Amino acid sequence: MIDIKNVSKWYGSFQVLTDCTTHVSKGDVMVVCGPSGSGKSTLIKTVNGLEPFQKGEILVNGQSVGDPKTNLSKLRSHIGMVFQNFELFPHLSIRQNLTLGQIKVLGRSEEEATEKGLKYLDRVGLLAQKDKFPGQLSGGQQQRVAIARALSMDPFAMLFDEPTSALDPEMINEVLDVMVGLAQEGMTMMVVTHEMGFAKRVANRIVFMDKGYIVEDCSKDEFFGSPRSDRARDFLAKII
């Protein structure tokens, strides 16, 4: 479904990704971890064309992300992305946040978009908040709205970039619980996170990055049981 082949990327003369190869199959829950600055955000953003890359190829459902002929906004509309900082529209109500993309990008009617948006809002346990504005919700609630908004677009895969790292500790679990539910329902997910508890519960693949390289790409059991590289062992020793 997502095929990343020999991808390299430079910011000027600084090489941020070196020859990265991995793939995400339908139903995979891939956790991407590694030290700060190792290129995790950059890698995940290359998947939906938010970051261009200079070498290699990325195929999403067979479509080449780097090909100028690919309609990137169409591609992005089918890949949900959830960032660290929620990125809801502050001047729009929760309901409007949920419907805007569906109406503008997918061409749905207001009625259809509202029905779908509220269905997912209910699913993340926030239906009662539909007429509030983002600033009136807690960080954990805003992130759950962001997830509901992404799901309203009927994505075939979801990308998460440290979705809980800007949250107060007591709110982390409410967001992780929503993500665990999604994973258990078979959603294809690529998740950058330091939450190794989440990884142990639902990941089936772990990618460990360091200095722009994919150093490990293995099963969860392999990663937590006997990581091959010293760098992954050091990382795990510090984080767990």
**Applying CB under 6 A, which residues contact ligand ADP?**
11, 14, 16, 34, 36-42
* CB 236, min distance to ligand ADP, A: 16
73 binds, among Mg ion, ligand ADP, none (CB under 5 to 8 A by kind): none
Question: Which amino acid, residue 14?
Answer: F
Which residue has its beta carbon closest to Mg ion?
41
What is the Cα–Cα distance from 16 to 13, expressed in whole angstroms? 9
**Closer residue to ligand ADP in complex, CB, 33/137:** 33
How many Cβ atoms from other residues are within 10 Å of residue 27's Cβ? 14
* CB 16, min distance to ligand ADP, A: 4
* CB 38, min distance to Mg ion, A: 8
Does residue 43 contact residue 65 with C-beta atoms inside 8 Å?
Answer: no
* CB 114, min distance to ligand ADP, A: 35
**Closer residue to ligand ADP in complex, CB, 41/188:** 41
Classify each residue of 112-142 as buried b or exposed e, where b means 16 or more C-beta atoms within 10 Å of its C-beta: ebbebbbebbebbebeebbeebbeebebbbb
For 23, the enclosing helix (H) or strand (E) is strand 14-24
C-alpha dist (Å) from residue 61 to 48, 51, 143, 190 = 12, 18, 27, 15
* CB 74, min distance to ligand ADP, A: 25
**Closer residue to ligand ADP in complex, CB, 13/73:** 13
**Closer residue to Mg ion in complex, CB, 84/204:** 84
Torsion of CA 105, 9, 210, 39, to 10 degrees: -30
**Closer residue to ligand ADP in complex, CB, 151/199:** 199
Q: Examine residue 188 and tell whether it contacts Mg ion (CB under 5 A).
A: no
* CB 152, min distance to Mg ion, A: 25
Q: What is the DSSP letter of 62?
A: T
Does residue 154 contact residue 188 with C-beta atoms inside 8 Å?
Answer: no
Q: How many residues bind Mg ion (CB under 5 A)?
A: 1
**Closer residue to ligand ADP in complex, CB, 161/174:** 161
Give, as ranges, the residues between 35 and 94 that touch Mg ion (CB under 5 A).
41
